[in-house]
Amino acid sequence: MTGSGTSALESAVVNTVAPGEEVMVLVTGAFGERFAKICQAYGIKTHVSMWNGDKRWIRKP
């Protein structure tokens, strides 16, 4: 399969998680943010924690 990094993330989501299931996404940068958005776009309940750069995780509502 050829494609962008985003297409690889989307492929990973649709082949491993079903709509209505839950995932936990640990965001440390752009790809983590994109992964969370892809999960949400497919109707997957997405819990997000973001790295604040101060050695702590912050959970997004």
Dist. CA 4–CA 58, nearest whole Å: 29
Q: How confident is the model at residue 61 (pLDDT cuts 50, 70, 90)?
A: low
pLDDT band at 33 (very low <50, low <70, confident <90, very high): very high
State how far Cα 27 lies from the chain centre.
8
pTM: 0.82
Q: Could you tell me the sign of the dihedral formed by the alpha carbons of 18, 61, 38, 8, in that order?
A: negative
